[in-house]
Structure 1
Amino acid sequence: MIAKVGSSTSIANTLRYLENEEDRVAWKEAQNLASTDREFVQTQMRQVAKLSRTDQPIYHYSISWDESDNPSREEMLAAATQTLEDLGLQEHQALIVAHNDHDYKHLHVMANRVHPVKGVAWNRRMDYKKLEKSLRALERANGWKEVPGHHCQLEGHQKPDYGQSLNRFEATQVKRGEMPLYMLIREHAEQDFREAQSWEELHLRLAEKGLTIQRGSRGAGGKVTDGYEYTNLSKVHRDFSMGRLEQRFGTFRSLEEMQHQVGLSGIQRDFAQFERAYRMGNSQESARMKKRLHKTLKALSTARKVHKTLKTFLAISSPSNPAFKAVSMMGKTIINQINEHEQTRGRGY
């Protein structure tokens, strides 16, 4: 079993992450809450959070089982409840949400750090050690695969090596209870790395998550960025090093290089430029290109042409890409305006 502590300490943001995609929610359970209803949980947790002056009322962590383990819902719930007790959060409000979007069983725990009666925020000191100690005991008691942690090992366990040591910035993140970028990528994009069949597919899958693969600064190796932080591909997982990816897909080519070879139309180039700026967090450039796209789409004058042009963007993007969704929404607004104008003209106004 592995526990990871999330970076979000906001009630609304954590709930959004846990429940926005309903298809991946397997089940939910509440602790010290009368309902698992999203609005109810948010309202009740906010009321309790106001008892304290903390601006970080939420403690969020996940628990993942090995693929060889197959715990039942009852066993997963009991494990989550035990970890809350071992952390000292048994009297606090908590929402437990199991997800089904991986081959292995896993769940998330969203706990209110503020005690509902005392109004004092729970001190998370030594939380990693407490979590790992709790997991080791649960593994041994239930016969699940034992995964020695960095902070706690049982008798007979050997302390594991960090695949690569944390740098100073990542160590600071861990101390603050935040997950370094390579851990977040490992959690949310490992399946994309393993299932992709080509550089193009991998680029498009990662672009949906706001991630970009680049060559290393010295022309060797590779790195991945969310537009704000960078981490080495090999740090995400040794199977995803540039060398191993090139063994699978051939010589590395960036998404931009592949798009350039296709011979894009002018508006497709504008969209590609907008998508990259959007993905890389370049707000000024993305705003400029979005304005340019809006002007071009509006000049097409018919709803059919706008719709057809939007479909051409899928040759270099995907329906799930946030940039495509943004432009698609803009295009639908223009289509509605064109249709309304046509209807008005048809009535003789």
Structure 2
Amino acid sequence: MKSVKKSDFAELVKYITNAQQKAERVGGVTVTNCQSDRPDAAIIEVINTQVQNTRAESDKTYHLIVSFRADEPDETTLKAIEARICEGLGYGDHQRVSAVHHDTDNLHIHIAINKIHPTRYSIHTPYNDHKTLGELCERLELDYGLERDNHQAQKRGAENRAADMERHAGVES
């Protein structure tokens, strides 16, 4: 059986900041809540912070990708959205590196977040983060005049399982 490998903050930051020989791949790179604004120095600082937490057995790195439609939004708005999403998930004080990518049809931001708090050294894992992210995105779309997207599933877990069983059995409720 294959085991799931935990994220490596250094590898993630190297990936999101690497232009991969494409002229337009990486736009702005932002380092937040670190002593340096250089990604290479931030990697060392984050790893040193992560080492301070010896109790957490789960992944200490959180990776988010926030995607936008064509021609949305400008650099200032991107930074504000990134900050609000991190704050909304409880990562406002956490160390992170963000990189804007232009290598697909849709502009997107990769956010590498250290789940270990930089002064308390406790791990933060947001409860029900998919739901929280959906609600945050809906609010941000309204606040910034972005095109609306569907972020919430129409049915919840138990409803989906019941529908799957009915479909499989050929029964309609």
The range that moved more, 34-43 or 122-131, is: 34-43
> Would the aligned equivalents of 2:65 and 2:111 in 1 still touch at CA under 8 Å?
yes
**Corresponding residue of 2:62:** 59
41 and 62 in structure 1: CA distance in 2 versus 1, 3 angstrom threshold = same
User: Which one has a larger percent helix, Structure 1 or Structure 2?
Assistant: 1
For 2:36, the equivalent position in structure 1 comes to: 35
CA contact (8 A) 1:60 1:109 kept: yes
Specify the alignment match of 1:137 in structure 2.
139
**Partner of residue 26, structure 1:** 27
Runs of 4+ in 1 over 6 A off after TM superposition: none
Supply the distance in 2 between the matched residues of 1:37 and 1:133 (Cα, whole angstroms). 32
Amino acid at match of 1:34: Q
Q: What is the CA distance between 1:36 and its match in structure 2?
A: 3.5
Cα distance in 1 for partners of 2:48, 2:30 equals 20
Q: In the alignment, is the contact (CA less than 8 A) between 2:98 and 2:112 conserved in 1? A: yes
Contact in 2 for aligned 1:36/1:95 (Cα 8 Å): no
Structure 1 gaps of 5+ residues are 1-6, 152-158, 167-349
TM-score w.r.t. length of structure 2:
0.77
Give matches, 1:187-198, under 5 Å. Answer: none
Question: Deviation digits for residues 249-293 of structure 1, max 9, x if unmatched?
Answer: xxxxxxxxxxxxxxxxxxxxxxxxxxxxxxxxxxxxxxxxxxxxx
What is the match of residue 12 of structure 1? 10
Partner of 1:120: 122
Q: For residue 102 of structure 2, what is the aligned residue in structure 1?
A: 100
The residue that corresponds to 1:87 in the other structure is: 89
The CA distance in 2 between the partners of 1:115 and 1:96, in whole Å, is 17
Q: Determine the C-alpha separation between the residues in 2 that align with 1:148 and 1:96.
A: 24
**TM norm structure 1:** 0.40
Structure with max Cα Rg:
1
Amino acid at match of 1:10: D
1:80-229 to 2 correspondence within 5 Å?
80-150=82-152, 159=154
Distance 2:28 2:119 in 1: 28
Identify which of structures 1 and 2 has the higher relative contact order when contacts are C-alpha pairs closer than 8 Å and 6+ apart.
2
Alignment partners' CA distance in 1, 2:108 and 2:9: 21
Q: 2:165 maps to which residue?
A: none
Contact 1:25/1:100, CA 8 A, preserved across alignment: yes
- Give the secondary structure class of the aligned counterpart of 1:50: helix
Query: Distance between the aligned counterparts of 1:10 and 1:120, measured in 2?
Result: 18
What displacement does 1:142 show?
1.2
Which residue of structure 2 lines up, in the alignment, with residue 48 of structure 1? 49
Report the count of equivalent residues: 148
| In structure 2, distance between residues paired with 1:34 and 1:27 | 18
